[in-house]
């Protein structure tokens, strides 16, 4: 009997949560349906490789000029308010309860995409950055995708060699230089498809650098999964 009551209380607490954005409505998983519907969805069509929105389907100028090491990026939202505020609070404000909300948003996009990979990994943080932040936000997001896009995650598959300068605040060229050779993959991945999860895609330099290492180890296909991406005016 007490078990039954405990469960009832558990269920009611899910629905009695108030929405993290508007604060006014009861929200399942912390985000009400109207606020979820208002999130900035990435415009389509978009570049088949890097997901930069375009006027017509195809590839953007950047991907045509310099094809990246990754094969595609899947990203449901644009990095602007209010999702940018949620990501910021999650990452720097250590509001770990947001992991569930953001993970659900990414998982919903993954269910819709219906894609499968052999393994899902998160973009690793360096030891120093991990110690400073206390958690890796990308691992939290990757966890939400296990069982949807892949049956297993391999957090130890790759690691970040040195504590690179944070990408935020750097220009596109500096970003590329900053993450070049930053990752190490020690396991052979011959013939495998890999999904790499990050929170935000900006220039794609981090994903490109990690994808290159994964492909050196034999990965057949590498695709990025992120919650949102910034938009570039020039492609």
Q: Is the peptide bond before 82 cis (omega within 30 degrees of 0)?
A: yes
Using CB under 5 A as the binding rule, whether residue 60 contacts Zn ion is answered as: yes
| Tally: H helices and E strands in the chain | 9, 7
From candidates 39, 46, 49, 79, binder to Zn ion by CB under 5 A:
49
73 part of the interface to Zn ion, by CB under 5 A: no
| 54 forms part of the interface with Zn ion (CB under 5 A) | no
Residue 154: CB minimum distance to Zn ion, A:
27
Torsion of CA 83, 89, 90, 93, to 10 degrees: 170
Residue 45: cis peptide before it, omega within 30 degrees of 0: yes
Select from 49-57, 71-79, 189-197, 214-222 the region that touches Zn ion (CB under 5 A): 49-57
Closer residue to Zn ion, CB minimum distance, 125 or 208 = 208
**Considering only residues 50, 149, 157, 195, which one is a binding residue for Zn ion as defined by CB under 5 A?**
50
CB closer to Zn ion out of 50 and 150: 50
Count of positions on this chain that bind Zn ion (CB under 5 A): 11
Least separation in angstroms between CB 50 and Zn ion: 3
Q: How far is the CB of 222 from Zn ion (least distance, A)?
A: 15
- The CA–CA distances, whole Å, from 71 to 13, 85, 158 equal 42, 29, 19
Question: Which helix (H) or strand (E) covers residue 85, if one does?
Answer: helix 83-91
Phi, psi of 53, deg, nearest 5: -60, 140
Q: How far is the CB of 93 from Zn ion (least distance, A)?
A: 19
CB of 125 to Zn ion, least distance (A): 26
Structure tokens at 180: 């070049």
Answer for which of 39, 42, 47, 228 binds Zn ion (CB under 5 A) is: 47
Residue labelled with tokens 């750097």: 170
Return the structure tokens found at 153: 């995650």
| Minimum gap (Å) between residue 234 Cβ and Zn ion | 12
- Is residue 60 helix, strand or coil? coil
**Pair 122, 136: CB distance under 8 Å:** yes
Cα-based distances in Å from 68 to 62, 71, 89, 211: 9, 7, 30, 9
Identify whether the C-beta of residue 118 lies closer than 8 Å to the C-beta of residue 192: yes
> Which CB atom, from 100 or from 155, has the smaller least distance to Zn ion?
100
CB of residue 162 to Zn ion, shortest distance in Å = 28
Chain positions 6 to 35 lying near Zn ion, rule: CB under 5 A, are 19, 21-22, 32, 35
Q: Which residues bind Zn ion (CB under 5 A)?
A: 19, 21-22, 32, 35, 47, 49-50, 52, 60, 63
């Amino acid at each position: 009997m007490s078990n039954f009551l405990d469960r009832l209380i558990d269920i009611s607490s899910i629905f009695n949560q108030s929405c993290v954005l508007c604060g006014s409505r009861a929200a399942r998983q912390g985000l009400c349906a109207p606020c979820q519907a208002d999130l900035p969805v990435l415009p389509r069509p978009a570049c088949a490789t890097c997901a930069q929105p375009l006027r017509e389907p195809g590839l953007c100028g950047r991907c045509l000029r310099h094809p990246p090491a990754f094969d595609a990026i899947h990203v449901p939202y644009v990095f602007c308010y209010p999702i940018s505020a949620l990501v910021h609070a999650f990452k720097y404000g250590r509001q770990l309860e947001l992991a569930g909300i953001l993970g659900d948003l990414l998982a919903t996009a993954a269910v819709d995409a219906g894609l499968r990979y052999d393994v899902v990994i998160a973009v690793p943080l360096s030891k120093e950055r991990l110690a400073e932040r206390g958690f890796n936000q990308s691992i939290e997001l990757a966890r939400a995708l296990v069982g949807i896009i892949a049956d297993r995650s391999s957090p130890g598959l790759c690691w970040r060699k040195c504590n690179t300068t944070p990408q935020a605040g750097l220009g596109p060229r500096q970003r590329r230089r900053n993450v070049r050779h930053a990752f190490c993959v020690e396991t052979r991945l011959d013939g495998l498809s890999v999904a790499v999860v990050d929170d935000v895609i900006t220039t794609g330099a981090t994903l490109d650098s990690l994808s290159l290492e994964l492909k050196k180890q034999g990965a057949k296909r590498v695709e990025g999964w992120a919650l949102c991406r910034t938009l570039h005016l020039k492609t």
